[in-house]
Amino acid sequence: MAASRDGTAARLAARGLGSLTQDQGLDILEHLLAGGQVQVGALAFDVRRWLEYYPKSSLLDDLVAASRPTESAALPARNGATRILAIASPEERAAAVELMVREQSARVLRVPESKLDTDATFTRMGMDSLTGLELRNRLGEALHLQLPATLIFQHTTISAVTAFVVDAIARANLARATEAEEEEGTL
C-alpha cells in the first residue's frame, strides 16, 4: 500500500523490478513448497533495465551475458555512434554529443527534452546520485567510454558534461590512433 501511494512501485517497475500478482505469487509458492528448497527468492526482474539505472555488478554480469546476442552481432550497432563521432568535425561532434546528453538526461529524468535547460544544474533539474549514475551508464554504453561515477557532480550541467564527453572522445580517438601507429611500426 505504501509503495503504491508514493509511487515507489512504479519507479521500481520502470527500473526493472516489477511486482508479482497474487496469482503469480501463489503459483510460485506452490512450486517452491513442492520442491523442498531451503532458501529461495522470487521476483519479477528485468536485469537489463536494472543495469541501465545502476552500476554494473559482477553478480548480474553473467545474467546479462547469457541473454545478450554474440559480440559480433552487437558490434555494428554499438560502434555506429562512436564511428560517426570519430569522423565528425569538432563542431558536429559537440552538437551530436549535446543532443545525446539532452536525450539521455530527459529519459533519465522522465521529462520532455524541451523542459531541459543546458545551463541548469542537474540537481536543480531533479537528478540525484542514482539517476546521475544511470545517465553516466547510458552515455558510457552508447559511446564506449569509461566515464567517472561522479560525472554529474564534477560537470554539473548538460553543457559541462557535453564538453567533458567531447574531450573524452578526442582522447580516446588519439589513443586509438597512437595504438594503431605502434602496431603498424611493429609489423
Q: Quick: pLDDT tens for 83-94.
A: 666 667 778 888
Phi, psi of 41 (to 5 degrees): -130, 145
| pTM higher than the cut 0.85 | no
The CATH superfamily holding the domain 71-186 is ACP-like (1.10.1200.10)
Residue 74: per-residue pLDDT:
38
Nearest-angstrom CA–CA distance, 2 and 94? 44
Task: Please measure the distance between the N-terminal and C-terminal CA atoms of the chain and give it in whole angstroms.
Answer: 67
Domain with CATH 1.10.1200.10 in the chain: 71-186
Residue 124 carries which DSSP code?
Answer: H
**Following DSSP, what letter does each residue of 25-85 receive, concatenated?**
HHHHHHHHHHHT-SS----EE-HHHHHHHS---HHHHHHHHHHSPPHHHHHHHHHHHHHHH
Span 142-166, average pLDDT:
92
- Please state, in angstroms and rounded to a whole number, the distance separating the CA atoms of residues 150 and 165: 13
pLDDT at site 174 = 82
Average pLDDT over the chain reads 78
pLDDT tens track for 2-15: 455 566 777 777 77
pLDDT at position 159, please?
94
